Amino acid sequence: MNKQSHETERLIKIVEAFPNATVTVLGDLVADEFIFGEISRVSREAPVLILKHRDRSLVPGGGANAICNLADLGVNVLPVGVVGDDEPGRLLIQAFRRKHIPVTGVFKSKGFATVTKTRILAGMTHTTRQQVVRVDREPDAPPNSHLARELILAARKYARASEALLVSDYGYGSATPAILNAIREKGRLNGVPVTLDSRHRMLEFSGVTAATPNEPEVEEVIGSRIGQDWSSLVSAGEQIMKRMKLDSLVITRGRDGMVSFSRGHKPLDIPIFGSDEVADVTGAGDTVIATFTAALAAGASNEEAAHLANYAGGIVVMKRGTATVSRQELLRAVEQSAPATRSH
């Protein structure tokens, strides 16, 4: 068996082991709402299009999307988060139940508004729908101290029965550095690996095993642009690895694929799987961290986990809207195309 076929066989075995793995997700649960209208005419009140309403859908986004990705990959997932006592919150819980995801760690609060991101899409009957505006509805304040305590207790309990803890921090207060520190205190995580997807405060987290930022988030952290400069990218990755004391780091780069850093190994430059003509990147980061974490929980090395996350990312960006990747789709991709890297 040559090296490539051995690597492929190994990746297939990891994906087949997903149903034996359990992952706890501590996350900001977001409702992604899509409203579609056909262009009717230009308004006489202002130079704007009038859309005739045709369709509305609401799907799990943010940390809730990472949860659904794990479930569709066949992983046993235990979500911990907060929703409001409102329609988006109820629809998120319904979406979890349809996928047989337990919801005892999802707390409903009357004083908290479910984060809802509404995307208005316009088009004609036989044309591609284009996003014209997005409206975000956010809670006035983060979860109160009582809810934070409930999140900590639930995450501790579930993590003890899990092979990994995924933290999805969108900045809405359910997955803060303070909450993670409280979960970890006195060694309560017992060596369970922690993976992190944090939009704007990655460096504030400690005790994290791996992180999966995108390139703009990395540029924000280091305060300079990377562009196509490989040495700058490597320097940025090594800087973050050192500052956060990570075992591994995956930097996603859109149509340029991703770069995997692993302690004691050279960085791997992994080209995007499939076409670089991306259809929609909405929620792609959730798919990447979900697949990466699932692979670690199933016994993969950091590099193997990065390759599987790259396959999943390449699949999901070809889907419109907030989407997931199934275990069958991931297996097909691995079987059809051997893992690839670029040399430098």
Active site residues: 286
Coil, helix or strand at residue 265: coil
Q: How many Å apart are CA 88 and CA 116, to the nearest integer?
A: 7
Q: Are 128 and 122 in contact (CB under 8 A)?
A: no
CB-count exposure of residue 256 (10 Å: 0-12, 13-18, 19+): middle
The full DSSP string for 18-60 is: GGG-EEEEEE-EEEEEEEEEEEEEE-SSSS-EEEEEEEEEEEE
Question: What is the number of other CB atoms lying within 10 angstroms of the CB of residue 36?
Answer: 17
* Distance between CA atoms of residues 296 and 291, nearest Å: 9
Measured in Å, how far apart are the chain's first and last C-alpha atoms?
Answer: 27
Question: Could you tell me how many residues make up the chain?
Answer: 344
Coil, helix or strand at residue 324: coil
Give the C-alpha separation, 173 to 144, whole Å: 9
Q: Which of 83, 6, 8 is nearest to 332 (CA)?
A: 8
Location of structure tokens 């999140």? 151
